[in-house]
Amino acid sequence: MEGTEARLLVSESLFDSGLVLPKIGERQLVEFPAPARNPTSEDIREAFPPAIYERMLRMIKRHENDSGTAAGTVFAGGEHLDTASPPNRTLGYGRNLSVVGILPEERHLVRVGADGKMSITEAGAERLLMNDVARIFKTLMKVDWFRRLGPVRRAAMVDFAMAGVGTVLGDDELTRVNLPKLGRSGFPAMIEALRRTGPTGLWIPDFVQAGKEIVTNSAGTGPSKYKRQVGARADQLQQLIETGDQRGLR
Split at pLDDT 50, 70, 90, the class of 26 is very low
Residue-range domain boundaries for the chain: 1-37, 39-73+133-248
CA distance 249 to 150: 13
pLDDT for position 210 = 96
pLDDT for position 185 = 60
The pLDDT of 132-153, averaged and rounded, is: 91
Q: 227: alpha, beta or left, given left = phi > 0 and alpha = psi -120 to 50?
A: alpha
Collapsing DSSP states into helix, strand and coil, what is residue 153?
helix
The pLDDT of 74-103, averaged and rounded, is: 86
pLDDT for position 176 = 67
DSSP code at position 34 = P
The pLDDT of 16-34, averaged and rounded, is: 34
What angle, 0 to 180 degrees and rounded to 10, lies between the N-to-C axes of helices 122-140 and 50-64? 110
Q: Where are the alpha helices (DSSP H) in 81-149?
A: 122-140, 144-147
More confident residue, 197 or 173: 197
Split at pLDDT 50, 70, 90, the class of 178 is low
* Region of poorest pLDDT, from 20-29, 33-42, 79-88, 220-229: 20-29
Percent of the chain with pLDDT strictly greater than 70:
74
Using CA atoms, how far residue 12 sits from 27, 34, 95, 140, 173, in Å, is: 6, 20, 37, 24, 28
pLDDT for position 84 = 79
Compute, in degrees rounded to 10, the torsion defined by CA atoms 231, 44, 22, 12: -20
Split at pLDDT 50, 70, 90, the class of 16 is very low
- From start to end of 86-198, where are the E strands? 89-91, 95-96, 110-112, 118-120
